[in-house]
Structure 1
Amino acid sequence: MRAWQIGDVMTTDVATVREQTPYREIIDVVTGRRVSAVPVVDDFDRVLGVVSQADLLHKVELVGEPHERRLFESRRRHDARVKADAAVARDLMTAPAITAYTRTPVAAAAKLMDREHVKRLPVVDDLGRLVGIVTRGDLLRVHLRPDADIRQDVVREVLQRVLAVREGTVQVTVDDGVVRMVGQLDRRTSVELAGRLAAQVSGVVELANELGFDFDDTALVLGPWPAHPTGIA
Protein backbone atom coordinates (compact mmCIF):
# COMPACT_ATOMS: atom_id res chain seq x y z
CA MET A 1 0.00 0.00 0.00
CA ARG A 2 1.49 3.32 -1.09
CA ALA A 3 0.53 6.47 0.77
CA TRP A 4 0.52 9.74 -1.13
CA GLN A 5 3.79 11.62 -1.07
CA ILE A 6 4.83 15.23 -1.65
CA GLY A 7 5.68 14.39 -5.25
CA ASP A 8 2.01 13.56 -5.88
CA VAL A 9 0.69 17.01 -4.92
CA MET A 10 3.54 19.53 -5.34
CA THR A 11 3.76 22.30 -7.93
CA THR A 12 6.74 21.91 -10.25
CA ASP A 13 6.56 25.28 -12.02
CA VAL A 14 8.09 27.31 -9.19
CA ALA A 15 8.73 31.05 -9.22
CA THR A 16 12.20 31.74 -7.80
CA VAL A 17 14.61 34.62 -7.19
CA ARG A 18 18.36 34.92 -6.67
CA GLU A 19 20.24 36.34 -3.69
CA GLN A 20 20.81 39.66 -5.46
CA THR A 21 17.25 40.06 -6.78
CA PRO A 22 16.07 43.58 -5.79
CA TYR A 23 13.09 44.16 -3.49
CA ARG A 24 10.90 45.63 -6.23
CA GLU A 25 11.61 42.76 -8.59
CA ILE A 26 10.66 40.24 -5.89
CA ILE A 27 7.32 42.00 -5.49
CA ASP A 28 6.83 41.83 -9.26
CA VAL A 29 7.41 38.06 -9.14
CA VAL A 30 5.13 37.49 -6.15
CA THR A 31 2.26 39.55 -7.52
CA GLY A 32 2.75 38.49 -11.12
CA ARG A 33 2.74 34.79 -10.29
CA ARG A 34 0.10 35.17 -7.56
CA VAL A 35 2.15 33.33 -4.95
CA SER A 36 2.69 34.10 -1.28
CA ALA A 37 6.41 33.31 -1.22
CA VAL A 38 9.38 32.54 -3.47
CA PRO A 39 12.40 30.32 -2.81
CA VAL A 40 15.82 31.94 -3.12
CA VAL A 41 18.16 29.72 -5.13
CA ASP A 42 21.80 29.82 -6.21
CA ASP A 43 23.22 29.18 -9.68
CA PHE A 44 22.81 25.43 -9.17
CA ASP A 45 19.13 25.76 -8.09
CA ARG A 46 20.01 24.86 -4.51
CA VAL A 47 17.58 26.40 -2.04
CA LEU A 48 19.14 29.06 0.20
CA GLY A 49 16.03 30.50 1.82
CA VAL A 50 12.49 31.76 1.26
CA VAL A 51 11.13 35.29 0.88
CA SER A 52 7.48 35.50 1.90
CA GLN A 53 4.91 38.28 1.75
CA ALA A 54 5.44 38.72 5.49
CA ASP A 55 9.13 39.41 4.86
CA LEU A 56 8.27 41.99 2.21
CA LEU A 57 5.63 43.73 4.32
CA HIS A 58 8.10 44.81 6.99
CA LYS A 59 9.15 47.70 4.73
CA VAL A 60 5.51 48.79 4.56
CA GLU A 61 4.88 48.11 8.24
CA LEU A 62 7.75 50.31 9.45
CA VAL A 63 7.55 53.06 6.84
CA GLY A 64 8.14 56.46 8.41
CA GLU A 65 9.41 55.00 11.68
CA PRO A 66 12.99 55.54 12.88
CA HIS A 67 15.12 52.48 12.22
CA GLU A 68 17.65 53.05 14.97
CA ARG A 69 18.08 50.14 17.33
CA ARG A 70 16.20 50.50 20.61
CA LEU A 71 17.75 49.72 23.98
CA PHE A 72 15.41 46.84 24.85
CA GLU A 73 14.40 45.73 21.37
CA SER A 74 12.73 42.33 20.96
CA ARG A 75 14.15 39.77 18.56
CA ARG A 76 11.07 40.02 16.39
CA ARG A 77 11.32 43.81 16.26
CA HIS A 78 15.00 43.62 15.41
CA ASP A 79 14.42 41.14 12.58
CA ALA A 80 11.55 43.25 11.23
CA ARG A 81 13.71 46.38 11.26
CA VAL A 82 16.55 44.59 9.45
CA LYS A 83 14.20 43.33 6.75
CA ALA A 84 12.56 46.73 6.45
CA ASP A 85 15.98 48.12 5.50
CA ALA A 86 16.80 45.23 3.16
CA ALA A 87 17.15 45.87 -0.56
CA VAL A 88 17.83 42.39 -1.98
CA ALA A 89 16.58 38.83 -1.45
CA ARG A 90 19.65 37.73 0.50
CA ASP A 91 18.79 40.17 3.30
CA LEU A 92 15.05 39.61 3.11
CA MET A 93 14.90 35.82 3.09
CA THR A 94 14.26 33.50 5.99
CA ALA A 95 17.12 31.04 6.11
CA PRO A 96 17.78 28.22 6.19
CA ALA A 97 14.63 27.13 4.40
CA ILE A 98 12.52 24.29 5.80
CA THR A 99 12.44 21.81 2.92
CA ALA A 100 11.09 18.36 2.07
CA TYR A 101 11.79 15.60 -0.44
CA THR A 102 9.41 14.33 -3.11
CA ARG A 103 9.20 11.00 -1.26
CA THR A 104 8.11 12.65 2.02
CA PRO A 105 4.64 11.35 2.97
CA VAL A 106 1.88 13.96 2.89
CA ALA A 107 1.09 13.37 6.57
CA ALA A 108 4.73 13.91 7.55
CA ALA A 109 4.85 17.13 5.54
CA ALA A 110 1.75 18.42 7.30
CA LYS A 111 3.33 17.72 10.69
CA LEU A 112 6.55 19.44 9.61
CA MET A 113 4.66 22.56 8.53
CA ASP A 114 2.80 22.67 11.82
CA ARG A 115 5.93 22.14 13.91
CA GLU A 116 7.96 24.76 12.05
CA HIS A 117 5.06 27.22 11.65
CA VAL A 118 5.49 27.54 7.89
CA LYS A 119 2.87 27.69 5.15
CA ARG A 120 4.86 26.05 2.37
CA LEU A 121 7.83 23.75 1.80
CA PRO A 122 10.29 23.98 -1.07
CA VAL A 123 10.81 20.44 -2.38
CA VAL A 124 14.39 19.42 -3.12
CA ASP A 125 16.31 16.47 -4.49
CA ASP A 126 19.15 14.70 -2.69
CA LEU A 127 21.57 17.47 -3.71
CA GLY A 128 19.36 20.22 -2.30
CA ARG A 129 18.23 21.42 -5.73
CA LEU A 130 14.72 22.79 -6.08
CA VAL A 131 12.26 20.49 -7.87
CA GLY A 132 8.93 21.87 -6.64
CA ILE A 133 7.00 23.53 -3.86
CA VAL A 134 4.07 22.37 -1.74
CA THR A 135 1.60 24.47 0.23
CA ARG A 136 -0.90 23.62 2.92
CA GLY A 137 -3.61 23.80 0.28
CA ASP A 138 -1.77 21.23 -1.83
CA LEU A 139 -1.71 18.81 1.08
CA LEU A 140 -5.49 18.97 1.32
CA ARG A 141 -5.78 17.59 -2.22
CA VAL A 142 -5.29 14.11 -0.79
CA HIS A 143 -8.86 14.38 0.51
CA LEU A 144 -10.19 15.07 -2.98
CA ARG A 145 -9.56 11.49 -4.04
CA PRO A 146 -12.67 9.82 -5.50
CA ASP A 147 -14.45 7.45 -3.12
CA ALA A 148 -14.08 4.67 -5.67
CA ASP A 149 -10.27 4.98 -5.61
CA ILE A 150 -10.20 4.94 -1.82
CA ARG A 151 -12.42 1.86 -1.71
CA GLN A 152 -10.21 0.08 -4.23
CA ASP A 153 -7.14 0.67 -2.06
CA VAL A 154 -8.89 -0.60 1.06
CA VAL A 155 -10.21 -3.72 -0.65
CA ARG A 156 -7.23 -4.67 -2.81
CA GLU A 157 -4.25 -3.37 -0.86
CA VAL A 158 -5.39 -3.84 2.75
CA LEU A 159 -7.91 -6.68 2.80
CA GLN A 160 -6.79 -8.84 -0.13
CA ARG A 161 -3.04 -8.22 -0.48
CA VAL A 162 -2.01 -7.74 3.17
CA LEU A 163 -4.62 -9.79 5.05
CA ALA A 164 -5.52 -12.29 2.30
CA VAL A 165 -9.24 -11.84 2.98
CA ARG A 166 -11.44 -13.57 0.41
CA GLU A 167 -13.49 -11.32 -1.84
CA GLY A 168 -16.98 -10.72 -0.44
CA THR A 169 -16.02 -11.52 3.17
CA VAL A 170 -15.95 -7.83 4.08
CA GLN A 171 -18.32 -5.20 2.75
CA VAL A 172 -16.58 -1.85 2.22
CA THR A 173 -18.40 1.39 1.50
CA VAL A 174 -16.92 4.88 1.15
CA ASP A 175 -18.94 8.08 1.33
CA ASP A 176 -17.08 11.43 1.10
CA GLY A 177 -13.93 9.79 2.42
CA VAL A 178 -15.67 8.04 5.33
CA VAL A 179 -14.89 4.32 5.14
CA ARG A 180 -17.16 1.67 6.67
CA MET A 181 -16.08 -1.97 6.92
CA VAL A 182 -18.63 -4.63 7.85
CA GLY A 183 -18.02 -8.38 8.07
CA GLN A 184 -16.42 -11.17 10.06
CA LEU A 185 -12.74 -12.13 10.23
CA ASP A 186 -11.18 -15.08 12.02
CA ARG A 187 -8.95 -13.22 14.51
CA ARG A 188 -9.18 -10.06 16.56
CA THR A 189 -5.64 -9.03 15.59
CA SER A 190 -6.66 -9.16 11.93
CA VAL A 191 -9.60 -6.86 12.64
CA GLU A 192 -7.36 -4.38 14.44
CA LEU A 193 -4.72 -4.50 11.69
CA ALA A 194 -7.37 -3.97 9.02
CA GLY A 195 -8.53 -0.88 10.86
CA ARG A 196 -5.07 0.60 11.28
CA LEU A 197 -4.09 0.04 7.65
CA ALA A 198 -7.38 1.23 6.21
CA ALA A 199 -7.14 4.45 8.21
CA GLN A 200 -3.75 5.11 6.57
CA VAL A 201 -5.09 4.92 3.03
CA SER A 202 -4.69 8.31 1.35
CA GLY A 203 -7.96 10.24 1.34
CA VAL A 204 -9.60 8.49 4.30
CA VAL A 205 -11.29 11.11 6.46
CA GLU A 206 -12.84 8.77 9.02
CA LEU A 207 -13.04 5.02 9.54
CA ALA A 208 -15.93 2.97 10.93
CA ASN A 209 -14.44 -0.45 11.67
CA GLU A 210 -17.47 -2.66 12.30
CA LEU A 211 -15.69 -5.96 11.69
CA GLY A 212 -16.32 -8.85 14.03
CA PHE A 213 -13.99 -11.76 14.85
CA ASP A 214 -14.30 -15.46 15.67
CA PHE A 215 -11.33 -15.77 18.02
CA ASP A 216 -9.66 -13.31 20.37
CA ASP A 217 -5.99 -14.04 19.87
CA THR A 218 -4.64 -10.92 21.57
CA ALA A 219 -3.82 -12.82 24.76
CA LEU A 220 -1.64 -15.21 22.74
CA VAL A 221 0.10 -12.40 20.91
CA LEU A 222 0.70 -10.23 23.95
CA GLY A 223 1.25 -13.01 26.51
CA PRO A 224 4.61 -14.01 28.04
CA TRP A 225 7.06 -15.93 25.90
CA PRO A 226 7.30 -19.64 26.80
CA ALA A 227 10.37 -20.70 28.75
CA HIS A 228 13.31 -21.92 26.69
CA PRO A 229 13.55 -25.77 26.69
CA THR A 230 17.01 -25.60 28.22
CA GLY A 231 15.92 -23.13 30.83
CA ILE A 232 18.28 -20.52 29.38
CA ALA A 233 16.70 -17.29 28.10
Structure 2
Amino acid sequence: MRLWRVDDVMTRDVVAVQTGTPYRAVVDLLISRRVSAVPVVTRFQRVVGIVSEADLMHKVEAAGGEPRLVLGRRRRAEQAKAGARTAGDVMTSPVVTVLPSLSVAAAARRMHQAQVKRLPVEDELGRLIGIVSRGDLLKVHLRIDEDIRRDVVDEILPHALGAPDATVRVETRDGVVTLRGRVHFRSAAERIASLARQVPGVVGVADGLTYDVDDSMMVGSDLGTPFGVA
Protein backbone atom coordinates (compact mmCIF):
# COMPACT_ATOMS: atom_id res chain seq x y z
CA MET A 1 0.00 0.00 0.00
CA ARG A 2 1.44 3.35 -1.03
CA LEU A 3 1.09 6.10 1.55
CA TRP A 4 0.44 9.62 0.32
CA ARG A 5 3.41 11.93 0.65
CA VAL A 6 3.90 15.67 0.83
CA ASP A 7 4.79 15.81 -2.87
CA ASP A 8 1.37 14.32 -3.69
CA VAL A 9 -0.47 17.32 -2.27
CA MET A 10 1.94 20.26 -2.02
CA THR A 11 1.67 23.45 -4.05
CA ARG A 12 4.59 23.52 -6.48
CA ASP A 13 4.00 26.96 -7.97
CA VAL A 14 5.17 28.66 -4.81
CA VAL A 15 5.93 32.36 -4.71
CA ALA A 16 8.76 33.58 -2.48
CA VAL A 17 10.46 36.84 -1.51
CA GLN A 18 13.92 37.79 -0.30
CA THR A 19 14.88 39.50 2.95
CA GLY A 20 15.25 42.85 1.19
CA THR A 21 11.82 42.77 -0.45
CA PRO A 22 9.93 45.92 0.66
CA TYR A 23 7.02 45.51 3.07
CA ARG A 24 4.57 47.01 0.58
CA ALA A 25 5.71 44.59 -2.14
CA VAL A 26 5.04 41.65 0.19
CA VAL A 27 1.51 42.92 0.87
CA ASP A 28 0.89 43.41 -2.85
CA LEU A 29 2.13 39.87 -3.53
CA LEU A 30 -0.12 38.24 -0.93
CA ILE A 31 -3.17 40.07 -2.23
CA SER A 32 -2.47 39.54 -5.94
CA ARG A 33 -1.63 35.86 -5.54
CA ARG A 34 -4.40 35.25 -3.00
CA VAL A 35 -2.09 33.49 -0.54
CA SER A 36 -1.82 33.96 3.20
CA ALA A 37 1.97 33.64 3.52
CA VAL A 38 5.19 33.61 1.51
CA PRO A 39 8.54 31.98 2.28
CA VAL A 40 11.60 34.22 2.51
CA VAL A 41 14.59 32.79 0.64
CA THR A 42 18.21 33.58 -0.14
CA ARG A 43 19.40 33.93 -3.72
CA PHE A 44 20.21 30.22 -3.56
CA GLN A 45 16.56 29.43 -2.70
CA ARG A 46 17.34 28.47 0.90
CA VAL A 47 14.42 29.22 3.24
CA VAL A 48 15.36 31.65 6.03
CA GLY A 49 11.89 32.72 7.18
CA ILE A 50 8.25 33.09 6.34
CA VAL A 51 5.96 36.12 6.25
CA SER A 52 2.30 35.54 7.01
CA GLU A 53 -0.70 37.82 7.16
CA ALA A 54 -0.40 37.67 10.96
CA ASP A 55 3.15 39.09 10.74
CA LEU A 56 2.01 41.93 8.49
CA MET A 57 -0.98 42.78 10.68
CA HIS A 58 1.28 44.10 13.45
CA LYS A 59 1.83 47.29 11.43
CA VAL A 60 -1.92 47.72 10.87
CA GLU A 61 -2.62 47.09 14.56
CA ALA A 62 0.01 49.57 15.69
CA ALA A 63 -1.20 52.38 13.44
CA GLY A 64 -2.45 55.19 15.67
CA GLY A 65 -1.82 53.18 18.82
CA GLU A 66 -0.32 54.60 21.99
CA PRO A 67 3.17 53.31 22.92
CA ARG A 68 3.54 51.25 26.09
CA LEU A 69 6.15 52.19 28.67
CA VAL A 70 6.78 48.62 29.82
CA LEU A 71 7.13 45.96 27.15
CA GLY A 72 7.59 42.21 27.55
CA ARG A 73 9.73 40.17 25.16
CA ARG A 74 6.78 39.17 23.00
CA ARG A 75 5.46 42.72 22.87
CA ARG A 76 8.90 44.05 21.90
CA ALA A 77 9.04 41.54 19.04
CA GLU A 78 5.59 42.61 17.88
CA GLN A 79 6.59 46.26 18.07
CA ALA A 80 9.69 45.54 16.00
CA LYS A 81 7.53 43.92 13.32
CA ALA A 82 5.19 46.90 13.43
CA GLY A 83 8.12 49.08 12.36
CA ALA A 84 9.25 46.66 9.64
CA ARG A 85 10.20 47.97 6.22
CA THR A 86 11.30 44.74 4.56
CA ALA A 87 10.42 41.05 4.53
CA GLY A 88 13.52 40.35 6.60
CA ASP A 89 12.29 42.73 9.32
CA VAL A 90 8.84 41.20 9.62
CA MET A 91 9.45 37.49 8.87
CA THR A 92 9.10 34.69 11.39
CA SER A 93 12.33 32.70 11.75
CA PRO A 94 13.52 29.96 12.07
CA VAL A 95 11.08 28.03 9.92
CA VAL A 96 9.92 24.43 10.21
CA THR A 97 10.37 22.75 6.81
CA VAL A 98 9.70 19.30 5.38
CA LEU A 99 11.03 17.05 2.65
CA PRO A 100 8.72 16.04 -0.21
CA SER A 101 9.08 12.37 0.73
CA LEU A 102 7.52 12.85 4.18
CA SER A 103 4.14 11.17 4.61
CA VAL A 104 1.03 13.32 4.79
CA ALA A 105 0.34 11.97 8.30
CA ALA A 106 3.83 12.88 9.51
CA ALA A 107 3.55 16.34 7.96
CA ALA A 108 0.23 16.87 9.75
CA ARG A 109 1.83 15.88 13.08
CA ARG A 110 4.77 18.22 12.50
CA MET A 111 2.42 21.06 11.61
CA HIS A 112 0.38 20.46 14.77
CA GLN A 113 3.46 20.23 17.01
CA ALA A 114 4.94 23.42 15.59
CA GLN A 115 1.54 25.16 15.71
CA VAL A 116 1.87 26.45 12.15
CA LYS A 117 -0.56 26.49 9.23
CA ARG A 118 1.91 25.73 6.45
CA LEU A 119 5.32 24.16 5.86
CA PRO A 120 7.82 25.11 3.15
CA VAL A 121 9.04 22.05 1.24
CA GLU A 122 12.75 21.70 0.52
CA ASP A 123 14.72 19.28 -1.64
CA GLU A 124 17.74 17.32 -0.42
CA LEU A 125 19.96 20.36 -1.01
CA GLY A 126 17.77 22.61 1.13
CA ARG A 127 16.25 24.53 -1.78
CA LEU A 128 12.60 25.62 -1.77
CA ILE A 129 10.50 23.51 -4.16
CA GLY A 130 6.97 24.00 -2.78
CA ILE A 131 4.76 24.68 0.19
CA VAL A 132 2.15 22.51 1.91
CA SER A 133 -0.76 23.95 3.87
CA ARG A 134 -3.40 22.42 6.11
CA GLY A 135 -5.81 22.61 3.18
CA ASP A 136 -3.35 20.68 1.01
CA LEU A 137 -3.12 17.89 3.59
CA LEU A 138 -6.90 17.55 3.54
CA LYS A 139 -6.75 16.59 -0.15
CA VAL A 140 -6.09 13.00 0.91
CA HIS A 141 -9.75 12.79 1.92
CA LEU A 142 -10.88 13.61 -1.60
CA ARG A 143 -10.00 10.08 -2.75
CA ILE A 144 -12.96 8.30 -4.30
CA ASP A 145 -14.49 5.36 -2.44
CA GLU A 146 -13.63 2.83 -5.15
CA ASP A 147 -9.91 3.67 -4.93
CA ILE A 148 -9.99 3.26 -1.15
CA ARG A 149 -11.83 -0.06 -1.43
CA ARG A 150 -9.33 -1.30 -4.01
CA ASP A 151 -6.45 -0.59 -1.62
CA VAL A 152 -8.13 -2.61 1.12
CA VAL A 153 -9.01 -5.55 -1.14
CA ASP A 154 -5.79 -5.69 -3.16
CA GLU A 155 -3.26 -4.63 -0.53
CA ILE A 156 -4.62 -5.12 2.99
CA LEU A 157 -6.38 -8.50 2.76
CA PRO A 158 -3.55 -10.42 1.04
CA HIS A 159 -1.02 -8.88 3.44
CA ALA A 160 -3.01 -9.68 6.58
CA LEU A 161 -4.23 -13.12 5.53
CA GLY A 162 -1.37 -14.31 3.32
CA ALA A 163 -3.78 -14.68 0.38
CA PRO A 164 -6.98 -13.07 -0.90
CA ASP A 165 -9.98 -14.19 1.12
CA ALA A 166 -13.43 -14.12 -0.49
CA THR A 167 -15.06 -14.46 2.94
CA VAL A 168 -14.17 -10.86 3.80
CA ARG A 169 -16.51 -8.33 2.23
CA VAL A 170 -15.42 -4.71 1.91
CA GLU A 171 -17.70 -1.74 1.31
CA THR A 172 -16.71 1.93 1.27
CA ARG A 173 -18.98 4.94 1.50
CA ASP A 174 -17.96 8.54 2.11
CA GLY A 175 -14.53 7.32 3.19
CA VAL A 176 -15.87 4.88 5.80
CA VAL A 177 -14.74 1.29 5.24
CA THR A 178 -17.13 -1.44 6.38
CA LEU A 179 -15.67 -4.92 6.94
CA ARG A 180 -17.85 -8.00 7.13
CA GLY A 181 -17.11 -11.69 7.18
CA ARG A 182 -15.28 -14.32 9.19
CA VAL A 183 -11.58 -15.17 9.41
CA HIS A 184 -9.79 -17.92 11.26
CA PHE A 185 -7.74 -15.95 13.81
CA ARG A 186 -8.58 -12.96 15.98
CA SER A 187 -5.15 -11.48 15.24
CA ALA A 188 -5.92 -11.48 11.50
CA ALA A 189 -9.27 -9.75 12.03
CA GLU A 190 -7.71 -7.03 14.16
CA ARG A 191 -4.79 -6.58 11.77
CA ILE A 192 -7.15 -6.08 8.82
CA ALA A 193 -9.06 -3.38 10.68
CA SER A 194 -5.86 -1.71 11.88
CA LEU A 195 -4.30 -1.60 8.42
CA ALA A 196 -7.55 -0.39 6.84
CA ARG A 197 -7.47 2.67 9.11
CA GLN A 198 -4.07 3.57 7.64
CA VAL A 199 -5.26 3.62 4.02
CA PRO A 200 -5.02 7.18 2.66
CA GLY A 201 -8.45 8.82 2.61
CA VAL A 202 -10.10 6.53 5.15
CA VAL A 203 -12.36 8.47 7.51
CA GLY A 204 -13.27 5.51 9.71
CA VAL A 205 -13.60 1.73 9.84
CA ALA A 206 -16.77 -0.15 10.79
CA ASP A 207 -15.30 -3.46 11.90
CA GLY A 208 -17.83 -6.28 11.56
CA LEU A 209 -15.31 -9.12 11.27
CA THR A 210 -15.64 -12.23 13.41
CA TYR A 211 -13.14 -15.05 13.98
CA ASP A 212 -12.99 -18.76 14.82
CA VAL A 213 -9.94 -18.87 17.09
CA ASP A 214 -8.85 -16.35 19.71
CA ASP A 215 -5.09 -16.57 19.36
CA SER A 216 -4.37 -13.54 21.54
CA MET A 217 -2.89 -15.70 24.32
CA MET A 218 -1.05 -18.19 22.13
CA VAL A 219 2.43 -16.90 22.90
CA GLY A 220 4.96 -19.08 21.13
CA SER A 221 2.27 -21.08 19.38
CA ASP A 222 2.44 -21.89 15.68
CA LEU A 223 -1.29 -21.26 15.40
CA GLY A 224 -1.10 -17.49 15.46
CA THR A 225 0.50 -14.42 16.89
CA PRO A 226 0.11 -12.83 20.31
CA PHE A 227 -2.53 -10.15 20.55
CA GLY A 228 -1.15 -6.79 19.44
CA VAL A 229 1.94 -8.24 17.73
CA ALA A 230 2.17 -7.90 13.95
TM-score normalised by the chain length of structure 1? 0.90
**Matching residue of 1:192:** 190
**Matching residue of 1:179:** 177
Q: Report how far residue 169 of structure 1 moved.
A: 2.0
CA contact (8 A) 2:111 2:118 kept: yes
Alpha carbons of 1:194 and 1:222: their partners in 2 closer, same or farther (altered >3 Å)? Answer: farther
**Matching residue of 2:228:** none
Q: CA–CA distance in 1 between the matches of 2:69 and 2:125?
A: 41
Q: Can you list the C-alpha shifts for 1:113-139, whole angstroms capped at 9, x where unaligned?
A: 111111111111122111110111111
**Matching residue of 2:116:** 118
**Any unmatched runs of 5+ in structure 1?**
224-233
Matching residue's letter, 2:201: G
Q: CA–CA distance in 2 between the matches of 1:152 and 1:208?
A: 17
Alpha carbons of 1:130 and 1:221: their partners in 2 closer, same or farther (altered >3 Å)? Answer: farther
Pick the aligned partner of 1:81 from 79, 82, 90.
79
Q: How many residues align?
A: 221
Q: Can you list the C-alpha shifts for 1:14-66, whole angstroms capped at 9, x where unaligned?
A: 01000100000101111110000000011111111100001111111001235
Q: CA–CA distance in 2 between the matches of 1:15 and 1:160?
A: 44
Tell me whether 1:28 sits opposite 2:31 in the alignment: no
Tell me whether 1:169 sits opposite 2:173 in the alignment: no
**Any unmatched runs of 5+ in structure 2?**
222-230
SS in structure 2 opposite 1:184? Answer: strand
Q: Report how far residue 5 of structure 1 moved.
A: 1.0
Q: Report how far residue 107 of structure 1 moved.
A: 1.3
Q: CA–CA distance in 1 between the matches of 2:25 and 2:60?
A: 16
Q: CA–CA distance in 2 between the matches of 1:222 and 1:114?
A: 40
Pick the aligned partner of 1:131 from 129, 132, 136.
129
Q: Report how far residue 205 of structure 1 moved.
A: 0.2
Q: CA–CA distance in 2 between the matches of 1:138 and 1:166?
A: 34
Q: CA–CA distance in 1 between the matches of 2:161 and 2:121?
A: 35
RMSD of Structure 2 on Structure 1 (CA)? 1.5
Name segments (4+ residues, structure 1) moved above 6 Å.
none
Matching residue's letter, 1:141: K
Matching residue's letter, 1:70: L
Q: CA–CA distance in 1 between the matches of 2:150 and 2:215?
A: 28
Alpha carbons of 1:60 and 1:182: their partners in 2 closer, same or farther (altered >3 Å)? Answer: same
SS in structure 2 opposite 1:18? Answer: coil
Q: CA–CA distance in 2 between the matches of 1:5 and 1:112?
A: 13
Q: Report how far residue 146 of structure 1 moved.
A: 0.2
**Matching residue of 1:93:** 91
Q: Can you list the C-alpha shifts for 1:177-214, whole angstroms capped at 9, x where unaligned?
A: 00001111111111111111110000000101111111
Matching residue's letter, 2:50: V
Tell me whether 1:55 sits opposite 2:55 in the alignment: yes
Matching residue's letter, 1:24: R
Q: Report how far residue 167 of structure 1 moved.
A: 4.2
**Matching residue of 2:69:** 70
**Matching residue of 2:151:** 153
Q: Can you list the C-alpha shifts for 1:79-122, whole angstroms capped at 9, x where unaligned?
A: 11000111111111100111111111111111211111111111
**Matching residue of 2:39:** 39
Moved more, 58-67 or 169-178: 58-67
**Matching residue of 1:213:** 211
